[in-house]
Amino acid sequence: MMQLNVATYQTAAAITPSDTAVQSYRAIYVGGTGDLTVRTAGGNVVTFKAVPVGAVLPIEVWQVHSINTTATDLVGLA
């Protein structure tokens, strides 16, 4: 039998991308398609290309960068 990995979160907040502000989230909901550039909790900067509407990316991040981020209506989940 296949098991689904279902995460739950206690808080949610709208994200304003910033190249300097620390923003700690366990996952990100993407409301408007586009690219998403983040600094992971491990310190890597990565760009997720063409993230579709409604995607929830289960990545722990410390920053959501404004440079190279074109996705909109982002919500941080923690």
Question: Is residue 1 over pLDDT 60?
Answer: no
pTM to 2 decimals?
0.90
Is residue 12 domain-resident?
A: no
Judge whether 59 lies within some domain. Answer: yes
Over residues 7-22, mean pLDDT: 95
User: Is 1 within the bounds of a domain?
Assistant: no
Is 41 inside any structural domain? yes
Tell me the residue range of the domain where 71 lies: 18-77
6 is a domain residue: no
Structure confidence by residue, pLDDT tens digits, 22-64? 999 999 999 999 999 999 999 999 999 999 999 999 999 999 9
**Count of domains observed in the chain:** 1
Q: Please give the full DSSP string across 14-56, using - where no structure is assigned.
A: E----SSS---BSEEEEEE-EEEEEEETTS-EEEEEEEPTT-E
